[in-house]
């Protein structure tokens, strides 16, 4: 009963305490409902569908779940709508860092599109500086509560717009000042990443890092372009790589050229299970490609995408995966180390995070069963106390 295997299946409390690494999280997709209500009031934003925080939270979830792209996009018009002032951006970023730390995340890269926060008269630079200030404030508040988190920003350009090069230059200007990389996001169909080649070529010339939203709704051509034309370091989602993997009836697996390339080159996949379920990329957690991709040793990572719209957190994502695939603390550690290896901060810092924070954290959790057993056999404490 207390075999290593069962003992290694994490409890919800252990999942929560386990050091987790998050690479794909949108700042405008993770606001607290109460904050949205307060910011709407403070900034004179009058478009909210609900003004009661609890009802608003439900509205966001239902709109994102509705299967209607219009309603899904409407959710972001409200969060972005209340993030048009310096104070609002500082607050949202600080709460983001705080919430992630509270969830046991030790390292996060959080992305946002500066061009979407200019309606109140801020400049691109003021937006970046406000968000950076917020992240530092959130890290500080977490530290006061005995929690440790480091947050890096990714600057996103919208793929339907034409400001990618400008945003890439902005990301480059603020590297080493809180911004760790670049991304493009928005509707995949009709807006191939090659539209923004100048931005990617610029970043490569500057030896900078970027990820590209690809292979979420749209399939293999999008992934292929992101990697082979644009030179992406990571794939935002990349879940459709599954279309290039054949599982035969006898259980044997065949990888196409692109899937082989992705695995051979250890291209990180920023997988977001709950978000994929909402957009219909997978029917259930058990059927989500992450199970196969983990088995085949792709560089798979677990991410939240939009915590508010998907009503999720890193702990919730792992709870679903533990339930669907029977993952152990070793699997959780594997995903977390994968993510840390794939982060955009310098190699020595990634290594220190893996060896000094992540591995000791999991070792501690994995050893807890030993003490539980000793306590129960000694008769002083009942199991699970
Ligand atoms: Zn995303």
Mean local confidence (pLDDT), 305-314: 96
Q: What is the pLDDT of residues 202-250, one digit of tens each?
A: 999 999 999 999 988 778 999 999 999 999 999 999 999 999 999 999 9
CB neighbour class for 200 (10 Å; exposed up to 12, middle 13-18, buried from 19) = buried
How far apart (Å, rounded) are the C-alpha atoms in residues 230 and 223?
10
Q: What is the pLDDT of residues 323-334, one digit of tens each?
A: 999 999 999 999
- For position 381, what pLDDT does the model report? 52
One of 109, 216, 270, 317 is an active-site residue; which one? 216
Report the 10 Å Cβ neighbour count for 351.
Answer: 12
- Ligand 1 centre to CA of 64 (Å) is 14
- Ligand 1 centre to CA of 272 (Å) is 8
pLDDT band for position 280 (cuts 50, 70, 90):
confident
- Higher pLDDT residue, 357 or 372? 357
- Ligand 1 centre to CA of 297 (Å) is 23
DSSP 196-227: GHHHHHHHHHTT--EEEEESSSS-HHHHHIII
Residue 106, pLDDT above cutoff 90: yes
pLDDT band for position 302 (cuts 50, 70, 90):
very high
- Ligand 1 centre to CA of 236 (Å) is 6
Mean local confidence (pLDDT), 287-304: 97
Residue 1, pLDDT above cutoff 50: no
- Ligand 1 centre to CA of 189 (Å) is 15
78 is in an annotated binding site: no
- Ligand 1 centre to CA of 42 (Å) is 28
Mean local confidence (pLDDT), 198-203: 97
- For position 385, what pLDDT does the model report? 43
The C-alpha angle with vertex 216 and arms to 214 and 221, in degrees rounded to 5, equals 50
- For position 216, what pLDDT does the model report? 82
Query: Three-class SS of residue 181?
Result: strand
Question: Which domains are assigned to the chain?
Answer: 4-373 (3.20.20.140)
- Ligand 1 centre to CA of 185 (Å) is 7
25 is in an annotated binding site: no
Tokens read off for 89? 């951006």
330 is in an annotated binding site: no
Phi, psi values for residue 97, rounded to 5° = -60, -40
- For position 378, what pLDDT does the model report? 53
Mean pLDDT score of the chain, rounded to an integer? 93
Mean local confidence (pLDDT), 339-367: 97
Query: Which of the listed ranges 6-10, 43-47, 64-68, 159-163 does the model predict with the highest average pLDDT?
Result: 43-47
Give percent of the chain above pLDDT 70: 95
The greatest distance separating any two alpha carbons of the chain, rounded to the nearest whole angstrom, comes to 69
Residue 192, pLDDT above cutoff 90: no
- For position 282, what pLDDT does the model report? 85
166 is known as an active-site residue: no
What pTM does this model have? 0.94
- For position 72, what pLDDT does the model report? 82
26 is in an annotated binding site: yes
99 is in an annotated binding site: no
Q: What is the pLDDT of residues 119-131, one digit of tens each?
A: 999 999 999 999 9
Give percent of the chain above pLDDT 90: 83
- For position 45, what pLDDT does the model report? 95
- For position 195, what pLDDT does the model report? 87
- For position 73, what pLDDT does the model report? 81
Q: What is the pLDDT of residues 281-294, one digit of tens each?
A: 788 999 999 999 99
Residue 18, pLDDT above cutoff 70: yes
- For position 107, what pLDDT does the model report? 98
- Ligand 1 centre to CA of 184 (Å) is 9
Q: Alpha helices of the chain — where are they, by DSSP H?
A: 4-8, 12-17, 33-43, 53-65, 69-81, 86-102, 124-144, 164-173, 197-205, 220-224, 257-264, 273-279, 290-295, 314-325, 329-341, 347-352, 359-366, 368-378
213 is in an annotated binding site: yes
Angle, nearest 10°, between helix axes 314-325 and 329-341?
A: 130
Residue 3, pLDDT above cutoff 90: no
């Amino acid at each position: 009963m207390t075999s290593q295997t069962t003992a290694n299946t994490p409890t919800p409390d252990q999942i929560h305490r386990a050091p987790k690494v998050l690479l794909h999280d949108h700042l405008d997709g993770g606001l607290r409902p109460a904050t949205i209500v307060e910011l709407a009031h403070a900034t004179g934003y009058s478009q909210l569908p609900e003004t009661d925080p609890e009802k608003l939270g439900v509205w966001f979830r239902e709109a994102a779940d509705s299967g209607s792209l219009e309603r899904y996009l409407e959710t972001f018009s409200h969060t972005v709508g209340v993030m048009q002032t310096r104070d609002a951006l500082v607050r949202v970023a600080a709460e983001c860092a705080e919430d992630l730390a509270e969830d046991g995340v030790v390292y996060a890269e959080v992305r946002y599109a500066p061009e979407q926060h200019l309606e109140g008269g801020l400049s691109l630079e003021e937006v970046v500086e406000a968000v950076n200030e917020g992240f530092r404030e959130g890290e500080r508040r977490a530290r006061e509560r005995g929690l440790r988190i480091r947050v890096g920003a990714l600057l996103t350009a919208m793929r339907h717009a034409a400001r990618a090069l400008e945003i890439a230059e902005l990301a480059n200007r603020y590297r080493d000042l809180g911004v760790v990389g670049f991304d493009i996001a928005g509707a995949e169909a009709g807006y191939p990443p090659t539209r923004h080649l100048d931005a990617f070529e610029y970043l490569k010339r500057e030896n900078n890092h970027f990820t590209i939203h690809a292979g979420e709704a749209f399939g293999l051509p999008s992934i292929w372009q992101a990697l082979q034309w644009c030179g992406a370091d990571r794939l935002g989602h990349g879940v459709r790589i599954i279309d290039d993997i054949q599982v035969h009836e006898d259980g044997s697996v065949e990888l196409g050229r692109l899937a082989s390339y992705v695995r051979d080159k250890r291209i990180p996949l920023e997988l977001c299970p709950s978000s994929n379920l909402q957009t219909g990329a997978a029917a259930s957690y058990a059927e989500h490609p992450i199970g196969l991709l983990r088995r085949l040793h792709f560089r798979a990572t677990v991410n939240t995408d939009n915590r508010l719209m998907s009503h999720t957190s890193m702990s919730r994502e792992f709870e679903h995966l533990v339930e669907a695939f029977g993952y152990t603390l070793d699997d959780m550690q594997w995903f977390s180390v994968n993510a840390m290896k794939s982060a955009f901060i310098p190699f020595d810092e990634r290594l220190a995070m893996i060896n000094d924070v992540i591995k000791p954290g999991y070792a501690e959790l994995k050893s807890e069963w030993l003490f539980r057993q000793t306590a129960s056999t000694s008769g002083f404490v009942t199991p699970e106390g």
